[in-house]
A = this chain, B = another copy of it.
Amino acid sequence: MTHDESSATLRVADLGEFALIDRLAAVLREEAVPARSAPADELAIGDDAAAWRPTPDRWEILTTDALVENVHFRLSTTTWRELGWKALAENVSDVAAMGGRPRRAFVTLGLPPETPIAGLEELYRGMAHLACEFDLVIAGGDTVAAPVVFLSVTVVGEVEGPGLRRSAGQPGDLLAVTGVLGGSAAGLEILEAGGPGPGDDVGRSLAHCHRNPSPRVRQGLVLNEAGIRCGMDLSDGLLGDAAKLARASGVGATIALASVPMHPCLEERFGPRAAELALTGGEDYELLVAAPADVIGRAEQALRRARLGPLSVVGRLEPGHAGQVRVVDAAGRPIQPSRASWDHFGRSGTRR
């Protein structure tokens, strides 16, 4: 089948998000757009954020993400304030993923006419609280009528040096993650099952992970300073995101299940499903990095000195099929994971 024949009948539902982005990037290449002026060391479509160098010694980064009602959130289970926090947190996390400092946010709102103003004021309060915590300015945006609520957020930041990139991994690099994993996906399950009951402190703690994720900006700055050059944030689950990092770096990866740091409440509540949640649960917004063992060691010490939590080695990059990730048990035997990371188009239903 030629390119043109396949295009004539294909629908978005037939392609995953990443195949779609590849096809659209191909159109730009055909039309020779990026070749005209993008310097070779600029990041474009594909990384957590775009980056460019307005002056020789300064990098600027920009990231943009959209959330759509009944696709990414439901107003029946998410408060407006949480929605504001999360919409901004996702983008701030993309800046953190490059070791950058967020500076300015721009918020475009799609709004049905019946949207309550009080809700939107709460939404802005949620964004304002995150903006205060991470010292960024909400500097503009656009509001438009729409049949469902959507938010399209853009954050501009800056980074010292080139920062962390998905494509900078090398075979032999250790893979490591900040914090603990699986809390957000666990919290989502609890919320979708009706929310934590009275006195359910574990449930409330997990729900909080889902509702108010904290982008790892301070960790990203320390990791960049410590010399880490390869990294991304964990938005779609360790397994899927490690595959993206490995694909961008042109390598494979192995993850040792026993070394994946789980949220401490996971096993108590989810028993044997805890590992699945930690491996494939989305929206933890921890950072995944790859670097030689000595750099990982230095970075781990720097994080501990700054009281910014652990950096846990979870596996390594290896020569081999780009993007292929193997999960192994304590004895090094392969494990078949039960599901891969979310694909925004490949599955129906809500992500959060």
A residues adjacent to B (C-beta < 8 A) = 7-8, 10-15, 17, 20-21, 23-24, 27-28, 31-34, 36-38, 42-47, 49-50, 52, 54-55, 58, 60, 62-68, 70-72, 103-104, 106, 108, 110-118, 120-121, 124-125, 128-129, 131-132, 135-148, 150, 152, 154, 156, 158, 344-345
Contacts and interface: CB of A to CB of B under 8 A. Distances in A.
Contacts of A103: 37, 52
Contact of A64 (B31, B44, B137, B142): B142
A13 B114 contact: yes
A132 B54 contact: no
B156 A62 contact: yes
A54 B156 CA distance: 11
Given A20-B120, A104-B50, A27 B137 contact: no
A27 B128 contact: yes
A346 to B, nearest CB: 10
Contacts of A62: 104, 106, 139-140, 154, 156
Contacts of A24: 120-121, 124
B68 A21 contact: no
B7 A52 contact: no
A138 B34 contact: yes
A277 to B, nearest CB: 23
Contact of A143 (B10, B21, B34): B21
Contacts of A27: 121, 124-125, 128
Given A23-B120, A45-B140, 5 more contacts: A33-B131, A45-B139, A64-B106, A113-B345, A146-B150
Contact of A44 (B42, B65, B139, B142): B139
22 contacts: A10-B116, A11-B116, A21-B143, A27-B128, A42-B139, A44-B140, A55-B55, A55-B58, A60-B60, A62-B106, A62-B139, A62-B154, A63-B140, A64-B106, A66-B108, A68-B145, A71-B145, A72-B144, A143-B344, A146-B148, A154-B154, A156-B156
Q: Pick the 5 closest A-B CB pairs, nearest first.
A: A31-B128, A13-B113, A152-B152, A10-B117, A27-B124
A23 B121 contact: yes
A146 B71 contact: yes
B50 A140 contact: yes
